[in-house]
Chains A and B, each alone.
Chain A
Amino acid sequence: NAGVMQNPRHLVRRRGQEARLRCSPMKGHSHVYWYRQLPEEGLKFMVYLQKENIIDESGMPKERFSAEFPKEGPSILRIQQVVRGDSAAYFCASSPAGRVNIQYFGAGTRLSVL
């Protein structure tokens, strides 16, 4: 049973470019969460999605960041016009319907902005 799959594992972008981070939840999981981790910090919640719906985006920066979880395919976290401060590890987690209080994490995408 495959776990939460994230790709790419590492992503390098120059300032002003777009970054697209992908997350495939565990099989049978319909809830996806995105978190950001800065060095020597805990994970900070960004957004919570179910299929085709954003449930809670209270942790998302208001500009340049967007997330989607389409009916088919992985969840995407998109960062437009990246800046150096966007450099971080971005983690995706998933949980099954009815058990949203337990989340399983992927290995993360490390974004470096040059």
Chain B
Amino acid sequence: GQQLNQSPQSMFIQEGEDVSMNCTSSSIFNTWLWYKQDPGEGPVLLIALYKAGELTSNGRLTAQFGITRKDSFLNISASIPSDVGIYFCAGQLTGANSKLTFGKGITLSVRP
């Protein structure tokens, strides 16, 4: 089946630092979504990307839809303790009846 690759599995940063996460695939996607999940909760949508090359910001978050349509990155600037959580990328294939394919997620830890 389709796979989205996220690595590393865990990242540890100091409060105030910037962090960048990448998501890659062997397949072309027509939509990329980034979600954050806190323990015991559902994924919360952070940013949605619809066009190749698109760069979108949401506060301290910036995400880009790769021009090859096979990758995306998420950048968090000036991290704060509440940024702790699991960050998932998700992609939607063309003609896939809307289902999302998720990466395995990156667990972000922020040291105060």
Chain A: residues with CB nearer than 8 A to chain B?
4, 6, 31, 33, 35, 40-45, 48, 55-56, 58-59, 91, 93, 95, 100-108, 110
Contact = CB atoms under 8 A, between A and B. Distances in A.
Interface of B: 4, 30-31, 33, 35, 40-45, 48, 50, 88, 90, 92, 97-105
B70 to A, nearest CB: 17
Specify the main secondary structure of chain A where it touches its partner. Answer: strand
Contacts of B50: 101
A45 B3 CA distance: 12
B94 to A, nearest CB: 10
B29 to A, nearest CB: 10
Contacts of A48: 97-99
Given A42-B88, A42-B103, A42-B105, A100 B42 contact: no
A93 B88 CA distance: 15
A100 B43 contact: no
B83 to A, nearest CB: 19
A43 B88 contact: yes
B99 A56 contact: yes
